[in-house]
A and B are shown apart, each in its own frame.
Chain A
Amino acid sequence: MVEPILSEPILSVRGLHTSFAAQEGTVRAVDGVSFNVFEGRTLGVVGESGCGKSVTARSILGIVERPGRVTGGEILLRPGDGGAPVDLLKLSPDAMRKVRGREIGLVFQEPMASFSQYYTIGNQIGEGIRLHLGLDAKAARERAIELLDMVGVPQPSRRVDEYPFQLSGGLRQRVMIAMALSCDPRVLIADEPTTALDVTTQAQILDLLRELQEKKGLAIILITHDMGVIAEMAHDVAVMYLGRAVETGPVRDIFRAPRHPYTRALLRSIPTVLAKPRSRLPTIEGSIPHPFNRPQGCAYHPRCVEIIDDQCRTEEPPEAGPETHRIRCFLHGGHKGAVA
């Protein structure tokens, strides 16, 4: 694995807040998330469902749906020409549209539902190309064929005129990747890209992503709930719980020496071939609280097996730890009593 390059991140999320206004109250789906994404590296964002992973991805692209709204923070994108970073949250809607698809591509969980069934894949890939690169229909089609070839779709010149429902799940996800990369973006957000696929296809798609990253120096944000995928793909990891990144750091540190009790619990619950046969797989006690019933203090405390004292129940732990490995837990900083 590559050591962290302490250069300028290509995309830097700082204290992102996104909330959904419902009649019962406001749900803070993303509640102060910070992380950096570097060129040629993959950031794995991991957490149980409902922890705000996907909302984070949509917040970056500025496509959070109503009644959701980004309420705070910064999303700094370093421009391709090396200028000063731009805060995406401050861009005009028009300028933001030039970032979507052009600078940041998105690959989605369900390859079937992510395509319209009424247009050929060539049409759907070519659309962004024509919009961002200003090519005409014919040239866009040519480029779509090249892209399909690049992502390993057989017979691309024939496939380009087919409809999504005529492709298999694995091919569809390849086409999805081709579409996300159609305008050579520098950042690719892959939101659960392999969840809906079978295991063999999963491995192929992950290989493809890695290969494309090496070839193009892509920065990838890989959102998943699967620790196995993280172990295989990511260089850095952000572990999310209830809208917060509770631990961020290089993948090796996180896997070798997880510090946050939640990260430890997540890692314990991965099945491995080395486990004792017929032993119970450890699970995390309890379930994610309902977003309206966000616990006081550290949001994880009701499920935490390493809870210290009442401070966990009343105060939110601050971010602590070295620059490359941040943790939000009183076990690792901010505790008023004895610090472990």
Chain B
Amino acid sequence: MLGALFGRRKPALSQAERFAMATQLQLTWWRFKRHKVAMVSLFIVALFYVIALGADFLATTDPHATDARTSYIAPQPIHFFEADGSFSPHVYGLKGVRDPRTFKLVYTVDPSRHVAIDFFAPGYSYTFLGIPTTTHLFALRNPERGDGIFILGTDQLGRDIWSRLMVATRVSLTIGLVGVSISLFLGVLLGGISALYGGIVDTLIQRTIEVIRSMPTIPLWLGLAAALPNDWSVTQVYFSITIIISLLAWTDLARVVRGKFLALREEEFVMAAELAGASTGRIIFRHMLPSFLSHIIAAVSLALPAMIISETSLSFLGLGLRPPAISWGILLQDAQSIQSLALAPWLLAAAVPVILVILAFNFLGDGLRDAADPYG
């Protein structure tokens, strides 16, 4: 069974001609489609980016709204049917109970009070692609103060973890994208220059890469991240952190680009283009780039999870994004101590998307890398 999952197959011979005429990207895609795990991963990654896009729509409660009453509420399932079997989605309400020893008011779930759920119902206001709206996938019909749909429970400050997770997904995934874009730019630029000019420039860039690779990255990230002024806005910190991460992450991409570039330069079709008098620019963009585009795509999809881990780690340590920003790392920061974990294990919920996305990106990257050598 696993064999079929991981197996790769060559295209059937009836397509021999199509195969011979196809571009590199088409070949890669055909071959990639046969890699089932990678296809599933592609679907998961796509799903996550859809979530990132519709984060607020999927959220049920304002992710920043705190409420002392709802502190550490355990995950609440959505009940779809009433006791009599009629369809009526609802959650249980909350009630205050006085602790018999401390006399403090604590809030617990009250199964006797049902709060109905509406779909495509109004909730907190947000903007979707610039359009202000209040529509959410689901919301409570007549909530009393403190009521909420706590699918994944709440944190210490009574914020709904599901809603925070949705918004965090957007932040963490886009940091990965922006970071990879910067790394890709640096990697292609420096890797390309290194291969194209050779000599002293090449040596210099290669030594720089070696130096960066031989440095322990986390202490350096931490040091640089700690130097960001405390009074910077969430957006400023977001972009600074992204830049800090990509500054040390472009080296692998540069190595891939340089390696492919050098290998391709020896290929006969490039020599043929040179002899035919094509300009350097034309050779690079018309002949060489299409041949290693799929390799770059594969390298990018392997660099993305590393970016996401970096951001998550930095934020987890309290030196990356800072509250009120919400990211997976910030959510996990709440789960840092065993005391809070023992009290509210659902704080670890953010671990699931982290692992899932990184796994999916790795399988995707692997599938792409295998597919990038369609004739191999």
Contacts and interface: CB of A to CB of B under 8 A. Distances in A.
Partners in one complex: yes
Interface string B1-18: 000000101101100000
Contacts of B12: 24
A23 B13 contact: no
A138 interface: no
Nearest to B13: A292
B13 A293 contact: yes
Interface string B172-185: 00000000000000
A interface, over-half SS: loop
A290 interface: yes
Nearest to A293: B13
A24 B16 CA distance: 14
Interface string A283-311: 00000001011000000000000000000
Contacts of A292: 13
B376 to A, nearest CB: 16
Nearest to B11: A24
Contacts of B7: 23
A120 B13 CA distance: 46
Interface string A27-68: 000000000000000000000000000000000000000000
A292 B12 CA distance: 11
A12 B117 CA distance: 84
Nearest to B9: A23
A90 B10 CA distance: 35
Contacts of B10: 23-24
Nearest to A290: B13
Nearest to B12: A24
A67 to B, nearest CB: 13
Contacts of A23: 7, 9-10
Contacts of A24: 9-10, 12-13
Interface centre among B7, B12, B13, by most chain A C-beta atoms within 10 angstroms, is B13
Nearest to A292: B13
A24 B11 CA distance: 9
Nearest to A25: B13
Smallest CB-CB A-B distances: 5 pairs: A23-B9, A292-B13, A24-B10, A293-B13, A290-B13
10 contacts: A23-B7, A23-B9, A23-B10, A24-B9, A24-B10, A24-B12, A24-B13, A290-B13, A292-B13, A293-B13
